[in-house]
Amino acid sequence: MTRSIGVLDPPIRLLCGTGPTNPDPRVLRAMAAPVLGQFDPAFTAIMEDVMALGRYVFRTSNTRTFAVSGTGRGGMEAAIASLVEPGDSVLVGTCGRFGDLFVDLATRYGGRVSQVTAEWGQVLDPQQIDEWLKRAPAKVVAVVHGETSTGMLQPQLGEIGRICRERGALLLVDAVVTLGGVPVEVDGWQIDMCTSGTQKCVGCPSGMAPITYNDRAEQTIASRKSPVISNYFDLTQIQRYWNPERLNHHTLPTSMTYGLREALRLIVEEGLEARWARHQRTGDALKTGLQAMGIELFGDPRHRLPMITGMFIPEGVSDEAARARLLEQFGIEVATSFGPLRGRLWRIGTMGYNAELKTVLTVLTGLERVFQSFGVKSDRGAGVVAAEKAYHSAARG
């Protein structure tokens, strides 16, 4: 080696991108607990806790509620790999990068993929899905609940669920950004399979993908004519690992399982309705503050996610240079965007532990100073004042 490697000492950041977010310190403490063997009765009891807590957060009674070892994308791939056989018809709703990901995954696993689309910054019309299914039945309809790439929240999932049930299709939903931040009603909306991730509103480091699916989905997987192509993402095997059989499929990441259990426990402790309200209140305060600074927001205002705020970069401000300055001078991370929006749009996340007024005020203060360094003029403190007023007004009801 040409240099010595010192003790690991990463800098402290305020993570206000699109994930990961800063976990609650109690989650990090849980992850530092002693490691147990994967079949130790004390650990399998923790697995049972994860399943029970997951049912509460997903709002479901599904027996098959557990976590895939991997990131949110791993959960999406496990869903597609297990549901889709070569030649199956798959209809994907696309209005951003993660709808495109569903298209890519379903294509890779041999699906015959069709799409209903909306422009980035808009949402899908359920009637588009209904009209398509009338013409061409599909085995699976895949929809993104919260499109992180655009900051849009897909409405009327219950209507989409009703349509899929009437047309004989399975509804697969990506709730990676929304679980724990806005209502996700798996049973009430007739969602057949729903996947999520840990690093956003659930409030845990990245590395686990909560998943739940009902009897219809399980029966579809069990009746496959061919084996699941992926061994690692084969839900027929993973579900046996998470039940009393304890099939030795892989070694569950013990510390990540501790973290997920604690993150889910904290959601239950706070209460879902209170947590949803906190994310809405915080996101609204940020949006109000940005507009008070003269910043233009992105996307259909009727369908913006509370926890991801898309804002246009002010004229004269360099995307990369300004984000670097924000990180170096204030320790704040925000996210750029993808595709046609790259270099034009920032996405600011206020998720989980960071869905608080203090986060919003810190971010707005940093943005104001950085934008001023690029010559952008605004009333000093206008964003902070407006955000604080909006937050407290919402808190009072």
Report how far apart the first and last C-alpha atoms of the chain are (Å, whole number). Answer: 61
Q: Is 301 exposed, middle or buried (0-12, 13-18, 19+ CB in 10 A)?
A: exposed
Query: Based on the domain organization, do 260 and 306 belong to the same domain?
Result: no
pLDDT of residue 95: 96
Mean pLDDT for all residues in the chain: 96
State how many domains the chain has: 2
How far is residue 374's CA from residue 140's CA, in Å, rounded to a whole number? 49
Query: Based on the domain organization, do 265 and 277 belong to the same domain?
Result: no
pLDDT of residue 67: 98
pLDDT of residue 133: 98
Query: Based on the domain organization, do 237 and 89 belong to the same domain?
Result: yes
Q: Which two tokens stand for residue 58?
A: 């997903």
Among 269, 300, 330, the domain boundary falls at 269
Q: What is the pLDDT of residues 8-27, one digit of tens each?
A: 999 999 999 999 999 999 99
> Does residue 14 fall inside a structural domain?
no
Q: In angstroms, how far is CA 66 from the centroid of its own chain?
A: 16
pLDDT of residue 339: 83
- Ramachandran region of residue 168, left (φ > 0), alpha (ψ -120 to 50) or beta? left
Query: Based on the domain organization, do 101 and 236 belong to the same domain?
Result: yes
pTM over 0.85: yes
Amino acid, single-letter form, for residue 214? N
Contact 391, 281 (CB under 8 A): yes
* CATH code of the domain covering residue 378: 3.90.1150.10
pLDDT of residue 104: 98
Q: How many CB atoms lie within 10 A of CB 395?
A: 12
305's CB contacts (< 8 A; 6+ apart) are: 146, 147, 151, 152, 153, 177, 178, 181, 182, 283
Query: Based on the domain organization, do 174 and 126 belong to the same domain?
Result: yes
pLDDT of residue 1: 58
Print the domain residue range for 372. 273-396
Query: Based on the domain organization, do 204 and 170 belong to the same domain?
Result: yes
> Does residue 15 fall inside a structural domain?
no
Query: Based on the domain organization, do 205 and 236 belong to the same domain?
Result: yes
Q: In angstroms, how far is CA 206 from the centroid of its own chain?
A: 11
How far is residue 67's CA from residue 64's CA, in Å, rounded to a whole number? 10
Query: Based on the domain organization, do 213 and 64 belong to the same domain?
Result: yes
Instruction: Kindly report which listed range (154-168, 280-294, 376-390) carries the lowest average pLDDT score.
Output: 376-390
How far is residue 337's CA from residue 310's CA, in Å, rounded to a whole number? 9
Predicted confidence (pLDDT) at residue 338 exceeds the cutoff of 90: no
Query: Based on the domain organization, do 223 and 331 belong to the same domain?
Result: no
How far is residue 233's CA from residue 231's CA, in Å, rounded to a whole number? 6
How far is residue 302's CA from residue 325's CA, in Å, rounded to a whole number? 32
How far is residue 155's CA from residue 200's CA, in Å, rounded to a whole number? 20
> Does residue 13 fall inside a structural domain?
no
> Does residue 9 fall inside a structural domain?
no
26's CB contacts (< 8 A; 6+ apart) are: 262, 266
Q: What is the pLDDT of residues 80-132, one digit of tens each?
A: 999 999 999 999 999 999 999 999 999 999 999 999 999 999 999 999 999 99
- In this structure, the dihedral spanned by the alpha carbons of residues 312, 355, 282 and 122, taken in order and rounded to 10 degrees, is 50
pLDDT of residue 115: 98
Contact 169, 140 (CB under 8 A): yes
Q: In angstroms, how far is CA 199 from the centroid of its own chain?
A: 8
Q: Is 231 exposed, middle or buried (0-12, 13-18, 19+ CB in 10 A)?
A: exposed
Contact 234, 82 (CB under 8 A): yes
pLDDT of residue 296: 97
Q: How many helices (H) and strands (E) does the chain have?
A: 13, 13
* CATH code of the domain covering residue 258: 3.40.640.10
Predicted confidence (pLDDT) at residue 5 exceeds the cutoff of 80: yes
Predicted confidence (pLDDT) at residue 322 exceeds the cutoff of 80: yes
Q: What is the pLDDT of residues 227-240, one digit of tens each?
A: 999 999 999 999 99
Query: Based on the domain organization, do 179 and 288 belong to the same domain?
Result: no
> Does residue 2 fall inside a structural domain?
no
Q: What is the pLDDT of residues 249-268, one digit of tens each?
A: 999 999 999 999 999 999 99
- 15 pairs with which residues across the strands? 333
Quick one: which of 265, 230, 302, 307 has its CA closest to 15? 307
Res. 4 pLDDT band, cuts 50 70 90: confident
pLDDT of residue 2: 67
> Does residue 19 fall inside a structural domain?
no
Predicted confidence (pLDDT) at residue 362 exceeds the cutoff of 90: yes
> Does residue 299 fall inside a structural domain?
yes
Question: Percentage of residues in the chain with pLDDT exceeding 70?
Answer: 99
Query: Based on the domain organization, do 196 and 248 belong to the same domain?
Result: yes
Query: Based on the domain organization, do 342 and 204 belong to the same domain?
Result: no
How far is residue 109's CA from residue 301's CA, in Å, rounded to a whole number? 36
> Does residue 16 fall inside a structural domain?
no
